[in-house]
Structure 1
């Protein structure tokens, strides 16, 4: 076919360079085929005495792979050959030239995707470990498709890689377990670990101030490593792990057939030993496995036992859905309206309480108060809902709003604030009012300060109001409400204890006697 295409373009008066560019082959190849007849080409390919190539016995395999997966690289072809024939000895350049020749003969074009990265300074030994997550879709042995998830690690100096796979999304506990396995694989930990802003480990990052999830914060406190959190949309700051994730997807996982997760993880470790950590790194020009032998001496040792894990044995983490429910064993269990917050972490802790019937307890904090409690259903696909967690539909929107306004000291400010929220969130105004209602019920002592601050900062959102109340509550600011214009004297704020002295105490101080 290549011979025919070259002669067809030549008859159309294409120049040698144009033919080579059009067919993506070299100019010597064009010259060679233009100087031969069809019979000569056929005889050349069928000649039993022609010089045998080292990869000729695997020619059919390679052609089949290229035809089914045209994007495969020569490095990936070599890895697949070594996986099937572990005793094979073949150089990378040999595979590259052979694959290039087959692409020319059979006109199998490869599409290259180029991504730009900014160079970053080299890290000293034992200084930094970079971590990231990824996911792929794999064909199974039954010709179906399954989604797989993985976590990847890379030492910033030696570039030694490690990965683990799951057939379900990662939880914070999964991330901690994989960190421990990575430390055992490396034989120690680095001073610093670099992460993306992932919901598994962080709640928020505000101007450099990190707020980690409760479980991961306990883990960091135990292992005592520093955390460097990358800015959003800034892949260059963790370019090494970005490349590793891409490498794992494009070399190990691409077009590989999945059977079961244990076998997949076993093959992943074999790939790391055979290819991922053995090949010469293009930047360092050294094998990661060889450089790691020196870097390993600079890692900090880790113990094999985590003391804080005993605090979490009976608790399971779940994420609150947008419909303010938590999924557990194929059912949905309600939590109070407003628990879900798109701007913060929605992780909750669930605990199974045994008795005559098992009960599900749901908490926002591991040792915090119970926000919802349900009897565990033995059915599947059910919504188990507490009526107290739903909207109060007995009142109209305006009546509901007026009821909330009456709870504020400055009702004009309250009306202005709630009107702005209802205008901004017209479709969700009942949900917004329900959140404010719950805040007023739980923490009435701080609502006036929060209202004033929200109006000043133009924070027109029920979630902002809730967070502001929590802020004042954490600062332990007790509001004082005095009405100085009361002719009967000042009224003290609710909850304040005012001590008084007897008349004898004052006369004793002034040196007189009681009359």
Structure 2
């Protein structure tokens, strides 16, 4: 490789040309192109003695490659991280090392390829294939301009037609493009092949195709047969797939955009000159000449379909998070728009505004400014859940149970400031405590005052305060009963007891007794 790089350098090729000629990266060319033979020899000597990081598990890697020839370097890198966590190595190092092992031990990577069978050309006038494409070109101000197109091709003659727009297609646009194609061909084919595009098909439904409303009406009017490709099988319409690529690379690339009318006119001229005027590489015939015979087999094309009443019908299915996907971004709806029945909505694009409406009723559900970035969530503020509404109502309800609701409201607001995420749990805890306490005991008011005084703002602190004052009240009540003299009722077992009168003595008698004089001695 070093010698080849030096030889091509002498021939005057630049670095990019050398990289393309040898199939190597430009970084590799930069590394060797100015290296002297002596420097190259020193590098080789250094490489011979250099120990590589993955040499310690080389035998294991060879085993994996032999056992699983189709394994990727990325998966091997993941296995190394899983089974050898102490071995730190980059993915590019693994890729180079595995590539070298495959060459050294002749373990090519197995590729599963799909087998195709050549088929005879379909009869004249039987089939047309349709597909959509998108290109980005430069306008007269050298600014990027996106363009969308629908390509059509008759399967037998390979006669092509392209319809252009400077905005995304709607169902009405698709119908209009069909009408223009039929007018261009001067007739209709028996069958049209489509990919599963949301502008045409709502659901495959196990073979019972469900079309969009407008396209179903159009299909009933024109009465052509539809062949819908299965998901993941674009090769079923390979002819038009080639046409899409041909339009992008041969017509649109490096062409300046002036306006849509000029662009469409230039495309028709290109079709006549090149797209339909050159020999086709497969049929070895000129499509325009073969089409002169095929047009006789097309069904008659009469008046154009009346589409002025067809509404723009870019449709989307509402996702579980009440959003839709459009142009790589998520656009929101009011909460409750989603249902589990696959609710569909329509989209209207006007300038830089995206209007989303109910597909059945036509009711406008949301409007958004179109975002030109990717991966963004565009959400109106009124589409967000008001998470504080339920909490505020519950706070008012709990505060109303306190003897002083104003003080309770202040207390609950302080808790909300500190524990907003757990406010519902806090309120439920406070309610449980209040349910257990005696509402007439006054402990609720005491506990509230205590928490406010000492700035204890939590349900746990309130619960502890209530428990404290309840225990205090119980102790006071028990102490009161201990000092209350016990009064025994008189036993009225005999009627004569009620007639007994106590003796009345002079108080001086009791004074003398207290002084120590015996009453018996006096007597």
TM-score range (shorter-chain normalised) is 0.3 to 0.5
- TM normalised by structure 2 equals 0.45
Kindly name which structure, 1 or 2, has the bigger radius of gyration based on alpha carbons.
2
